[in-house]
Each structure stands twice: as structure tokens, then as C-alpha cells.
Amino acid sequence: GDGLLRAPMPGQVRAVKVAEGEQVTQGQVVLLLEAMKMEIRVQAPFAGTVTRLEVREGEVVERDAVLAEITPESA
């Protein structure tokens, strides 16, 4: 887990639910993608801090595009 959140499929960013610098919990929804009329929840793989947001609402992304980066909480 490198902390990079990637798009599971091509789609459009419907909503960004976090801000850079925000603390997130494991499983927290970071953003919503719309793809093929479905809403896909992109969730934090672990607890940590959002260090980088690469996309904004309305942006169209390709599969595997980096959406955000999360730095894990130090153990």
C-alpha cells in the first residue's frame, strides 16, 4: 500500500469528500466517482492524512489515474 488512491475504472468525479491535510479513518469515503451510471465510493485503505488531492469535482479520470494520496498514521 503506497497510499495512492487510484480510479478503479474510468469515470467522472462526482464529489470530493475530504480536504488536503484532513485526517481520515480506514474505510472513510474520500470521493465519489460516477462510472457507467453507477456511483463508486473510493475509500481510504487505512487511517492517515490526506497529503494530496489530484482531482476536483467534475473532472473526468481514466482507469488507474491517481485521485489522492494518503499518508498512513505513524504506528
| Residue 34, Ramachandran bin (φ over 0: left; ψ between -120 and 50: alpha; else beta) | beta
pLDDT at 1 over 90: no
pLDDT band at 74, cuts 50/70/90? confident
pLDDT tens per residue across span 27-45? 999 999 999 999 999 999 9
The residue ranges of every structural domain in the chain are 4-72
Contact (Cβ atoms closer than 8 angstroms) between residue 40 and residue 34: yes
Q: C-alpha 9: how far from its chain's center?
A: 13
Contact (Cβ atoms closer than 8 angstroms) between residue 56 and residue 13: yes
Q: What is the pTM of this model?
A: 0.91
Give the domain 4-72 fold. Answer: OB fold (Dihydrolipoamide Acetyltransferase, E2P) (2.40.50)
Please report, rounded to a whole number, the percentage of residues in the chain having pLDDT higher than 90.
92
